[in-house]
Structure 1
Amino acid sequence: MTTEDAPGDATGAAQEANLDKMTANLARVEELSQRLIQALSSRKPPNTQLNGPDAELFTRAATSYWSEMMQNPARLFEAQVEYWGQSVKHFMEAQQALVGGEPQEEDGPEDRRFSNPLWKTHPYFNLVKRQYQLNAEAIRKAVEEAEDLDDKDRRRLNYFARQIVDMLSPTNFLGTNPDALEKAVATEGESLVRGLENLVADLEANDGEMLVRLADDSAFELGRNVGASEGSVVYRNRMFELIQYAPTTDEVHATPLLIFPPWINKFYIMDLKPENSLIKWITEQGYTLFVVSWVNPGPEYRDVGMDTYVEEGFLEAIRVVREITGQKQVNAVGYCIGGTTLNLTLALMKHRGDKSVKSATFFTALTDFGDQGEFTPFLQDDFVEGIEAEVEEFGVLRSFIMSRTMSFLRSKDLIYGPAVRSYMMGETPPAFDLLFWNGDGTNLPARMTMEYLRWLCQQNRFATEGVELCGERLHVGDVEVPVCAVSCETDHIAPWKDCYRGVQQMGAKQKTFIVSQSGHIAGIINPPSKKKYGHYTNTSLSGDASAWMEKAKFHEGSWWPRWEKWLRRRSGKMVPARIPGDSGYPELCPAPGTYVVNKPSV
């Protein structure tokens, strides 16, 4: 072979390699397409009531909008002239940029979806972005100016309008996403094939339902690198496993601490890794710690209600902890719905004359649901009736329904952003423990779901006339043990002002209220070592929430040490550390137990 032949041979070899790669990719696409069809065919018929509001909402909105426009046609004319004027302006500026090559003037606030420089410098992408932003603003104004809607309808319409706007973002489509197009070119289409693989894998994992993975599940194993604090399951019934954690100090406070996490999620949010583990930190402060790990229910739990959680869950766990430790009282903690139900339990205990709980701590726990906030779209009769049909069919509220609902509250971050990275960019989801936990959901029993939604969320009985449970009428004012409540400043699930209103109504003489910076999870899982989020305190709970915050004192750093100081005063003398299990309650298995990993068939 001569030197003159070498370039041609190299080119031919490269072309042959590219052809082989294309052939292999086409074969992968064909196989994936078959799997995609198979996955979609396994999808259960959709519950249309859970996919959007009833037609009456849109009818009322349209009637309100056109009624206003008929009475004031100048407003419609002005809005249309402004919209089309801006559209023409954007088009003309794009034409000028094509000729002159000058970047377009930037409008509006920064949006991280449009961080690629091409959104600013390329006439096509810049026009697409600016027109999308104009359309989004036009929709927002139309909803805002519908004057005859009540507050609930306006909130719902705002929510659904925002979902449409977020869904139609140009970043969600391959032809208008410069990041995805650049990566497709750079990888010679490999990123698109990997994206299809990710899509098919997600559909197969969720029985044909579209639920994008947020984390790389293969990177985590419960008991190894998440939920790995040393402890033992010392009791089990059909509702929960009770974990007693190994002591890390020679002595512990006499009064044990019992934590009730939510059963909407799993308890190991408090034990993701040693650096931010609330469980590990509590044992290091010298406490005998017990944590409830709730069962992930299947259809056989359809008749389990709120009363079952109180009697067979909360009261039974309190009884067992007292027996194991030989103490007459426990200090109890309730997180989210676990805190709401701890309130119900304490109210019932007051009626029964049961003084087994010395103090109660509530993490982001609602008891007054008078302001439904961001959950307004999901707490109206049409949606709740859809939930009722769902649980009647399956016996449970399936975990993916709850996960999808919560994700839509932050759809840009929890749905569309991850979907773009996974399906259009072909990226593997990150190995992020918090997102792994977020995707590890649980089912909810049918009867409990409807009682919680109807009695508490919709009718707000616990804070008003009282809720009938376990043979008693319970009211938040019945909660009389010393209380420490921790809420989070930017929590969209349990807003701190709503939590504050509930604490105000409690009958306890000793009430401490703390507001942590950040949201529902990060504000609670906020170890002192991180020196990240501060917190607010104010000993006076006499005014409304705004007045409380106005006079509150801000403290740098985590609220954990402040709470521990409060808890220490109610935890008794120091005694020798307790080893998990005893003759009456031997170790059944190591922590984190079996319930946390069990996955029912639905």
Structure 2
Amino acid sequence: MRAPTVEHEQERDHAPDAIVHADGDSASIALIEARERERAGAIPSPAPPSEPACGCATPETTPADALDRAAHALIAAATGGLSPASALLAWIDWAVHLAVSPGKNAALAMQAVQDGLRTWPEWTPSLGATGKPAANEPADPRFADPAWNAWPFSAYRHTFQAAQAWWQQASSGVRGVEPHHERLVQFFARQWLDALAPSNFAATNPAVLSTALRTHGANFAFGERNWLEDYGQWLSRILGTSGKTKPALKPGRDVAATPGKVVWQGPLCELIQYAPTTSKVARESVFIVPAWIMKYYILDLKPDDSLVRYLVDAGYTVFMISWRNPGSAARDLGLNDYLEQGLMAALAVARERTRGERVHAVGYCLGGTLLSIAAATLAREAKRTPETAEDPFASVSLLAAQTDFSEPGELGNFIDASELAALDALMWEQGYLDGAQMAAAFQLLNARDLIWSRMMSEYLLGRRSKPSDLMSWNDDTTRMPYRMHSEYLTRLFLRNDLAEGRYCVDGRPIALVDIEAPLFVVGTERDHVSPWRSVYKLHLFTHQALTFLLTAGGHNAGIVSEPGHPGRHYRVATRSLDAPYRSPDAFVAENAPIEGSWWPCWVKWLEERSSGTVKARALEAQWPDAPGAYVFEG
């Protein structure tokens, strides 16, 4: 798994023109062809393990399988990648068990009567209803405008919220329903309820009506223009007459602008080293592994909210992986290819550029999951052959990254055998999962804010949201190869192989318990992608010292939480070596919130695990400037 030396890579890849103008999938194709030659016997390789030992065997595709995939792909294309069978099974499971639960039905009927008696006065203001929210009524940003307290809008609001509460009660706690089916029913019920919210319709939204009166209806004209623009772009993408929408902010100019150089380019990623801003830097560099489900510059947005710039200014040599955006030719690249030809190869280059010093490794989201696999693999090898192998990590930091997928949160609504069969068929036809398809799935997780509130603002109020760096980055979508994403969903999400000791690297299973480096793990309070309680589960798989930090915000905004950002707080605690386990609830109860950004806390933690300083590491002037070539691949 050793990567080529830096000198060899300079001869092969570091010609500036070759890096700056790299395009197509030639490197990916070469990698695939090399692996096929290896499989055919041209390159010696160890015998693969048996299925019982590793669980990694891949069944051969038969003509019947190909026909089934084609049929499933047609259905998946029509449903946006969702499995109708999965949804139908969930509704049948819930409906049948509800039908034979007379006690539950009686309780629901009683709640409906009580809701009707409570909301009826709202429809007859002469009875003296105030329309003000009750003291225990949950806050809902859709109804934050004071006009929702006036009749008849208060009646709309209270009736809708009563229906929400009733459906929450109806879809939960039905005896005999599979937990996954229960979550699916709740998810789909929330989708159609959010679609029917009175805030989504001009006639029942007081903010829209008051805006129409003030602008003499101009908001509807602006909204129609916005809708026509969006519809035209959508139709062009469907018909294939236009390319991907370009982000509003350009990498290298508006975002991803921290000065640096591309010091290595491989078939799957480039490695960026950032220019120092201090005369001395920490001996250990910071090596960052972002997720390939997104462009890397989520961690290098504008200068005032760039985690990369913050680390550089704090006196660290920072390396960043910039993943390639694969096309259909890369369909056969797997998860271990990303490990070996991506992370491991880039890590070897980073260490050689710092004369073999160990690194503070940082992984974000899916990149953190890959980093945990790498850390477990390298720790295993260091223990097996201590005379020839070493653990290169001075510390490992995982930012909103899961290692146990038994409770993946709302993303788990899309993970079952039926859903994966639909996605697998869709990806098989394309060779990859498109960024727009992934974006649609993530929007469903938070449809209230990402779909309906946006539509209300842009189409009913006629406002165009001013693009921010985070919004522009979110529009800069990427693809994922068929084989890699299929392995990721099946082996990690569905089977939980990593947490259960079945995930194999080089034909042998790895275990997270082998990781000896100190750990810093960050979860975010409102994470729909990596729920913090799931992230917290790493406590169960290691005996090493582990610092866990829970910060305000969601999956992206919670990590991009620069000092000075208003409304931020965090909780933090360290479990010492071999200390007993504490539950997530105990963590919250025992650690009070600390106001401010979590970045200074983390940098202090890194400083305590660094071994002094060295002269700042210069960059070769002739090498291409960051952000490199791969970030521009659409």
TM-score exceeds 0.5? yes
Instruction: Identify the residue that residue 97 of structure 2 maps to in structure 1.
Output: 64
Q: Counterparts of 1:406-485 in structure 2 under 5 Å?
A: 406-485=442-521
Q: Is the 8 A contact 2:549 2:570 kept in 1?
A: no
How far does the alpha carbon of each residue in 1:413-438 deviate from its partner, in whole angstroms, 9 at most, with x for none?
11111111112221112232222222
> Are 1:156 and 2:192 an aligned pair?
no
Q: Match of 2:607, as an amino acid?
A: R
Alignment of 1:159-174 (within 5 A): 159-174=187-202
Q: In the alignment, which residue of structure 2 is the partner of 1:308?
A: 337
Greater CA deviation, 129-138 or 340-349? 129-138
Moved more, 561-570 or 45-54: 45-54
Distance in structure 1 (CA, Å) of the matches to 2:538 and 2:93? 33
- Where does residue 122 of structure 1 map in the other structure? 151
Tell whether 2:253 aligns with 1:240: no
Give the deviation of 1:294 after TM superposition: 0.9
Query: Does the alignment pair 1:542 with 2:580?
Result: yes
In 2, the alpha carbon distance for the partners of 1:474 and 1:207 equals 46
Mapped to 1, the partners of 2:237 and 2:205 lie a distance apart of 25
1:329 to partner: Cα distance: 2.8
Give deviations 1:165-189, integer Å, cap 9, x for gaps: 1111011123322322333344344
Change (3 A) 1:147 1:247: same
2-side partners of 1:78 and 1:549: how far apart? 36
Letter in 1 for 2:204: T
2:35 maps to none
**How far does residue 285 in structure 1 lie from its aligned partner after superposition?**
1.7
- Indicate conservation of the 8 Å contact 1:156/1:376, yes or no: no
Which residue of 2 is the match for residue 30 of structure 1?
Answer: none
* Counterpart position of 1:495: 531
| CA offset digits 1:111-148 (Å, max 9, x no partner) | 3312344432233x333333222322222222135222
2-side partners of 1:568 and 1:76: how far apart?
57
Say which SS state the counterpart of residue 410 (structure 2) adopts: helix
Indicate conservation of the 8 Å contact 2:435/2:477, yes or no.
Answer: yes
Deviation at 1:546, TM superposition (A): 2.7
Q: What letter corresponds to residue 377 of structure 1 in structure 2?
A: N
Cα shift readout 1:485-531 (whole Å, capped 9, x = no counterpart): 22234433223332222144135x34333333333233322233447
Specify the alignment match of 1:368 in structure 2: 404
Q: Is the 8 A contact 2:90 2:182 kept in 1?
A: no
Whether contact under 8 Å (2:261, 2:626) holds in the other structure is yes
**Range with greater deviation from structure 2 (317-326 or 159-168):** 317-326
Q: For the Cα contact (< 8 Å) 2:545–2:574, is it kept in 1?
A: no
Deviation of 1:243 after TM superposition, in Å, equals 0.9
Cα distance in 2 between the residues matched to 1:80 and 1:503: 44
TM-score normalized by the length of structure 2: 0.78
Aligned pairs for 1:84-123 (under 5 A) are 84-86=116-118, 88-91=120-123, 93-94=124-125, 96=126, 104=131, 106-107=133-134, 108-123=137-152
**Which residue of structure 1 aligns with residue 293 of structure 2?**
264
1:505 aligns with 2:541: yes
Higher relative contact order at CA 8 Å, sep ≥6: structure 1 or structure 2?
A: 2
The residue matched to 2:630 in structure 1 has which SS? coil
Gaps of 5+ in 2: 1-75, 239-244, 383-388
Aligned to 2:174: 146
Matching residue within 580, 592, 601 for 2:619:
580
Partners of 2:605 and 2:104 lie apart in 1 by 60
Conserved? CA contact 2:133–2:149, under 8 Å: yes
**How many residue pairs get matched?**
539
- Give the Cα separation in 2 of the matches to 1:187 and 1:73: 49
Instruction: Give the aligned residue type for 2:79.
Output: N
Cα deviation, residue 261, structure 1: 0.9
Q: Report the alpha carbon displacement of residue 398 of structure 1 after superposing the two structures with TM.
A: 1.1
Is the partner of 1:538 in helix, strand or coil?
strand
Distance 1:110 1:320 in 2: 51
Q: Name the residue aligned to 1:29.
A: none
Residues 343 and 112 from structure 1, CA distance in 2 versus in 1: closer, same or farther, beyond 3 angstroms?
Answer: closer
Between the aligned partners of 2:106 and 2:530, the Cα distance in structure 1 is 42
How far residue 376 of structure 1 moved from its aligned partner, in angstroms, is: 2.6
Equivalences for 1:368-407 in 2 at 5 Å?
368-407=404-443
For residue 389 of structure 1, report the CA deviation from its aligned partner. Answer: 1.8
Whether the 8 Å CA contact 1:485–1:503 is kept in 2: the answer is no
The answer for the alignment partner of 1:324 in structure 2 is: 353
Which has the larger displacement, 217-226 or 303-312? 217-226
Q: Is the 8 A contact 1:245 1:290 kept in 2?
A: yes
1:203 aligns with 2:242: no
Unaligned runs of 5+ in 1: 1-43, 211-215
1:226 corresponding residue in structure 2: 255
* Alpha-carbon displacement from aligned partner over 1:302-345 (angstroms, at most 9, x marks no partner): 11111111011110101111222322433211111111101111
1:580 to 1:503, Cα distance in 2 relative to 1, 3 A: farther
Q: 1:314 to 1:106 in 2, by over 3 A?
A: closer
Question: Could you list the per-position Cα deviations for residues 196-230 of structure 1 after superposition, in whole angstroms to 9, with x for gaps in the alignment?
Answer: 222232233344679xxxxx977522222212111
Shift of 1:78: 3.2
Distance 1:237 1:65, change over 3 A: same
Per the alignment, residue 40 of structure 1 pairs with none
Task: Specify whether residues 359 and 117 from structure 1 end up closer, same or farther in structure 2 by C-alpha distance, changes over 3 A only.
Answer: closer
- Going from structure 1 to structure 2, the CA distance change for 1:558 and 1:186 (only over 3 Å counts) comes to closer
In 1, the alpha carbon distance for the partners of 2:376 and 2:405 equals 17
CA distance, structure 2, for counterparts of residue 537 and residue 80 of structure 1 = 45
Residue 133 (structure 1) aligns with? 161
Say which one has the larger Rg: 1
Native 8 Å contact 2:226 2:458 kept in 1:
yes
Is 337-346 or 193-202 further displaced after alignment?
193-202
In the alignment, structure 1 residue 514 sits paired with structure 2 residue 542: no
Residue 443 of structure 2 aligns with an amino acid whose one-letter code is S
Alpha-carbon distance between aligned partners in 2 of 1:139 and 1:471, rounded to the nearest angstrom: 49
Q: Which residue in the other structure is 2:44 paired with?
A: none
Question: Which residue of structure 2 aligns with residue 566 of structure 1?
Answer: 605
Contact between 1:54 and 1:382, CA under 8 Å: does it hold in 2? no
Secondary structure in structure 1 of the residue aligned to 2:264: strand
Is the Cα contact below 8 Å between 2:569 and 2:594 reproduced in 1?
no
- For normalisation by structure 1, the TM-score amounts to 0.82
Higher mean Cα deviation, 104-113 or 387-396?
A: 104-113
Alignment match, 1:47: 79
SS in 2 for 1:430: coil
Q: Could you tell me whether the CA contact under 8 Å between 2:278 and 2:616 is conserved in 1?
A: yes
Query: In 1, are the aligned partners of 2:335 and 2:484 still within 8 Å (CA)?
Result: yes
Counterpart of 1:345, as a letter, is A
Q: Which amino acid aligns with 2:480?
A: L
Distance 1:501 1:166 in 2: 32
Partner of 2:303: 274
Q: Is the 8 A contact 1:538 1:548 kept in 2?
A: no
Give distance in 2, aligned partners of 1:561 and 1:75: 51
Contact 1:336-1:363 within 8 A present in 2 as well: yes
Name the aligned partner's letter for residue 428 of structure 2. Answer: E
Q: CA RMSD in A?
A: 2.8
Cα distance in 2, alignment partners of residues 171 and 217 from structure 1: 31
Displacement, 1:598?
1.7
Matched, 1:486 2:504: no
Tell me, yes or no, if the aligned pair for 1:244 and 1:581 is still in contact at 8 Å.
no
